[in-house]
Chains A and B, each alone.
Chain A
Amino acid sequence: MIITKPRDWARIQANLESIGARRVFLMGCGQCATVAHTGGEEELREAAARLEGAGIEVTGRTVGEVTCHLNGTKLESRKHQAAIDAADAVLVLACGAGVQTTADAIPKPVFPGLESLFLGTVIRNGIFEERCQTCGDCVLDKTAGICPVTTCPKGLLNGPCGGMWDGMCEVLTDRECTHVRIRKRLSDQGRAGKGTLAPKDFSTALKPGSVNIRERKAE
């Protein structure tokens, strides 16, 4: 899931002030931002209280089912048409994809209420760790299901680097070195070493990514 954190309140206020917004509609997201405790019902309630405390009227709020889904967000906005019409701006407590989808669905100034951080795993409720760079050139088959591109701070495919100390990472000194973990897990599973991995194909990660499975089906 996409892990987010609250955006600095002063930046949000400055964004709203920049267009003189006095009335705001709040949009959350029922998926990742709800799980991350950044854009669910509770966080929207808190944001509304904070905005009203700052003298800004909240015309309405909703937690979209999947805010990054364009048609879903259009539908959701129609359900709240009057409240949105009454607002000067929409503040979105969702990831950057959710913000952009909302901006496409609603012809009003739309501002981000969160910072998007990474694609992560929920270790436990409220504890998230980055696990995937969405690089389009997966090496997890060779690395025992541990991504060196993401979990090695230097993103080395072949390691460890010279900074490893007692099996621990040079940069994140409280974590075991990714390359030590890979080697251990391969060995525990009776698998051969991963060998030397070739340089990554970064052309697969060129921005912006785009997929059309309708075209794929037509082929």
Chain B
Amino acid sequence: MGRFRDMLEAGEFVITGEIAPPKGADLTPMHASVDLLAPHCDALNVTDNQGASLHLASLAASKAILDRGIEPIFQQTCRDRNRLALQSDLLAAWSLGLENVLIVTGDDPRAGDHPNAKGVFDLDSTQLAQVAVGLNEGHDMTGRELEGATGFYIGGAMFPEAEPWDVQLARTEQKMEAGIRFFQTQAVFDIGKLERAVEALRPLGAKLIAGVLVLRSPRVIDFVNNHLAGLMIPDAIAERIRGAENPAEEAIRLASEQVREIRQIADGVHVMPLGLDRAIGRILGEEE
């Protein structure tokens, strides 16, 4: 493994996909999705209680994916665990052979299926990245030496379309200072803003993997606009999908156009097919 890191650092364009662990203990449907995406992807992100809703742990699902010979990107949010649990899970991840970690804040519990939960947020994503760097250096966050260091490739999230941009840029630079090496972005709809982000961050050494969300139905558009934090779909794009005879087909066409543009700009593309896993080849422009 370590191919994902090697490719990115060598300047090769990478393709990542996204896998949601099941809500339950049966991994069969997840593996069906993995089998569709994996042949087209260099690594697969494994989300951590995405949308603040209960799912099987990213740690176990990442390991299950690794066991099938596919490189996972283990996602860790700051929402559900305190600093002890975060560190012990990172150590566990490394011991299981997980080499990539994507560190994010996590949605607020009030957005999910356990709205009465206490959001932990003992550390924020910048602080957790610093902690992960420390584990790589062989010490815990109090500075105490570990029996065996980790060697994570540490990623974070950034939001090319976020405004005010100066705040978002400063935040991203702060994450880089903390030790984040690559960024996976929220879904990008404005290519101009993706260019703005790449121009600002590439000189600093950041690798930017741009997100593509497959807007397979008007219902998905409504969900994103009403429930997904930090993302709004522009009217022109929403109208294109809503007005299409076959919205799913139009969404695949739109996504493939976005991938084509992103290939010219970013260091990689992160595809969120939202169930249209079978179309991954077409989205990536590998199949007609």
Contact = CB atoms under 8 A, between A and B. Distances in A.
Contact of A160 (B108, B110, B167, B232): B167
Interface in A145-184: 153-167, 170-171, 177, 179-180, 183
Nearest to A148: B124
B157 interface: yes
Given A157-B127, A193-B170, A164 B108 contact: no
Contacts of A170: 107-108, 229-230
Contact of A162 (B105, B110, B126, B178): B105
A212 interface: no
B141 A171 contact: no
Nearest to A183: B167
B85 to A, nearest CB: 14
B119 interface: yes
Contacts of B229: 161-163, 165, 170
Nearest to A198: B127
B127 A163 contact: no
Given A154-B119, A180-B167, A193-B170, 6 more contacts: A154-B121, A160-B171, A161-B105, A167-B163, A171-B108, A196-B177
Given A156-B121, A158-B126, A202-B122, A164 B230 contact: yes
B230 A158 contact: no
A201 to B, nearest CB: 11
Interface of A: 153-167, 170-171, 177, 179-180, 183, 193, 196, 198-200, 202
Nearest to A200: B122
A7 B15 CA distance: 55
B186 interface: yes
A193 B170 CA distance: 9
A167 B167 CA distance: 9
B135 to A, nearest CB: 14
Contact of B178 (A164, A167, A196): A196
A157 B108 contact: no
A164 B107 CA distance: 11
Nearest to A167: B164
Interface of B: 79, 83, 104-105, 107-108, 110-111, 119, 121-127, 130, 141, 157, 159, 162-164, 166-168, 170-171, 174, 177-178, 186, 229-232
Nearest to A162: B230
A180 B164 contact: yes
16 contacts: A153-B110, A158-B126, A159-B124, A160-B167, A161-B229, A162-B159, A163-B107, A165-B231, A167-B163, A170-B230, A171-B110, A180-B167, A183-B167, A196-B126, A198-B127, A199-B83
Contact of B230 (A153, A165, A179, A196): A165
Nearest to B104: A162
Given A159-B171, A183-B170, A199-B127, A166 B230 contact: no
Contacts of B168: 160, 164
B164 A154 contact: no
A130 B231 CA distance: 28
A156 B105 contact: yes
Contacts of B127: 157-158, 196, 198-199
Contacts of B186: 162
A152 to B, nearest CB: 9
A180 B163 CA distance: 10
Contacts of B231: 165
A166 B162 CA distance: 7
Given A156-B105, A161-B105, A199 B123 contact: yes
Contacts of B170: 183, 193
Contacts of A166: 163
